[in-house]
Amino acid sequence: MYIVLDNQSGEAFYRQIVEQVKYLVASGQVKPGEKLPSIRELAGQLSINPRTVVKAYEQLRSEGLAVMRQGQGVFVTENRAVSPSGLRQSQIEEMAKRMFAEGRRIGASKEEIMNIIKQVAKRIEEKSNE
């Protein structure tokens, strides 16, 4: 499992870990039932305090994405309600919420934000058809 932390993002390391694990599951790169790296292993790989990894794993557990098995480790839940497509939808919803919140913060209307999204989607589609 490949996770990279960004010191410049302003987002807490544990949140970055949570979001990246969600992305890896939603994209199918990490499968339900798959074991996540141990706390020490991931902390060493990322050069961070193990307590940060514990906090991330506990957050994943509280969101129903991970299961902690005593003496075995942390595993991605096999719960069908936490399917890759369901996670993908929730990830996109979170991105949309952030986009609308930021757009509103700078004074954009809902219609303006929607028009920009449509324009960007159209440009991306045109480029992929070339």
CATH code for the domain in which residue 76 is found: 1.10.10.10
Mean pLDDT of the chain: 88
Structure tokens at 102: 């930021």
Shared domain for 95 and 118, answered yes or no, is yes
What's the predicted TM-score (pTM) here? 0.65
Does a structural domain hold residue 50? Answer: yes
Ordered alpha helix ranges (H), the chain:
13-26, 39-46, 50-62, 84-105, 110-128
Query: Which residue range forms the structural domain that includes residue 115?
Result: 84-128
pLDDT computed for residue 125 by the predictor = 87
pLDDT at 82 > cutoff 80: no
Does a structural domain hold residue 5? Answer: no
User: Which residues does residue 69 pair with via DSSP β-bridges, in sequence order?
Assistant: 73
